[in-house]
Structure formats: structure tokens, C-alpha cells
Amino acid sequence: MRHKVYLAGLLHDIGKFWQRADEKDNAFDSRIISEHLKKIAKEERLGKLSAGGFPIYGHVLYTGTFLEKYEDRLKEYLFEINNTDENNFVNLAIYHHHPNTILQSVIQVADHWVSGMERVERKEDNPEIPSNYRDRICENIFDFVNQSEKNEGEQTKRRYYLSPLNISSSLFTKEAGKYSYSDLWVKFEQEWQSILTQNLRDTKYFTETLVYLLKKYAWCIPATTRKMIITT
């Protein structure tokens, strides 16, 4: 159970990656999402819908579809992931915004702790509020060091553009990158499938390998794509 909760927590937001690689802003319009997950979401079992009837937390539908897509392989190497148990692997990963069990709440609390300052409504999951979330990229934190008000608007900030992690100096660039989310997702999924074809029958080895794969492809993906506005 410990490894199941750990792995579900590790993959609970993989849907954010896939969602940004999809062409649809509304998860209900996506041809990727399985119909039974759309039904669950429409019943508000994964969280509330927006005033327009859209899933506010659309990324969890992508997370669930991703895990179900590879259910046979995960079941072969790890454990049953989609049985009738309320704490099955898929449920642990997708109910972190609307938990029904203590273990689902564990992942929710961990998610809150990790993303502390982001615990407000997220525009990127609400198609009624445009946020251009596919266009937002990570900024280099070092550009904010010793930056005075005088030259703040004059500096050209460096960005971490979408790219698999490497040790090249090209990661610190002012030029637009060559990868799109769809490009990055294709490369990630190819390596993910490669992991599943290996004989990593020990859950510990599988999760450690997955950690490094996520670091390679998700390092440059913003956890949130809205501007931070801190009020008192």
C-alpha cells in the first residue's frame, strides 16, 4: 500500500502534461478522455463543474485516462490498479481535489504542501477564464536577483523553454525553444513505454526509474500558469 500511495502521488498531475499537449481546452470535448471518466466528472465526483458546465480540474481526467491506457502493463508489473476498491491506484491519483477516503486525502494534503502558495482557484483548469496556459513557460529565478525597479522592465528575462533536461548551456536561453508540449509528450511517452517493457518487477526500481524520467521531461513545465498576486 505504501508504494501504491507513493506512485499515485507521483503521477497524480501527469494529466497536466498531457492536457497541455492536447488541442482541446475543454476536457469534455477531448477525444483522448475516456467516456466513463467524462461521466464521473459530469456527476461532479471529481470536483465541481464551472458555471458553464466544464470540469474545473480537467487535468485529472487526463491523469485517469493515462493510467487506464497502461492498465495492463502496470497490473503486470505492479498491482491491480482499477478494481472496485475505493483506494485503487487510479482513484488515489485522480481524487486529490475531491477525496473520499483517508488515503486519497493523504495525496491531497501532500499536494497542498508541495504547492503551498498556489492554493487558489487555477485559471488553467477553467475554460471560461482564458489563461494561455500552453504559452506560459518557466522563468529563470536568477533574473529576479538584484533586479532593481529601475531596470526591471529593461531586462530580457531568460526562460526555461520546453526541452528534455540536459547539461547544455542552451537551457539558459533568451531564444524560443523548438519543442511544443505535444513534441515533449511524444518523447516522454516513448520512454515511459520503454520502462514498461523492461523487467522492473520490483516496485521500488520502477518508481525510482520513473522519478528520473519525470525529472527529464517535466522539469520545464510550470506547476501553475497564472501570475502570482499576493494580497494581505
Nearest Cα residue to 10 out of 93, 122, 83, 69: 93
Whether the full predicted model's pTM is greater than 0.85, yes or no, is no
The answer as to whether 192 is a domain residue is: yes
The answer as to whether 227 is a domain residue is: no
- What was the pLDDT predicted at 67? 92
- What was the pLDDT predicted at 50? 80
The answer as to whether 228 is a domain residue is: no
- What was the pLDDT predicted at 83? 62
The answer as to whether 225 is a domain residue is: no
- What was the pLDDT predicted at 217? 94
Work out how many domains the chain is built from and give that number. 1
Distance CA 62, CA 94 (A): 9
The answer as to whether 17 is a domain residue is: yes
- The pLDDT profile of the chain, 232 residues, written as one tens digit per residue, is 788 888 889 999 999 999 999 988 888 889 999 898 999 888 888 888 887 788 888 899 999 999 999 888 777 666 555 566 788 888 999 998 888 999 999 999 888 888 765 555 444 444 444 457 777 777 777 766 655 554 555 555 667 778 888 877 666 655 556 678 999 999 999 999 998 887 666 777 888 889 999 999 999 888 776 654 333 3
The answer as to whether 230 is a domain residue is: no
Distance CA 189, CA 200 (A): 17
Distance CA 35, CA 170 (A): 42
The answer as to whether 224 is a domain residue is: no
What's the domain range around 38?
2-218
- What was the pLDDT predicted at 183? 92
The answer as to whether 226 is a domain residue is: no
- What was the pLDDT predicted at 223? 75
Distance CA 106, CA 99 (A): 9
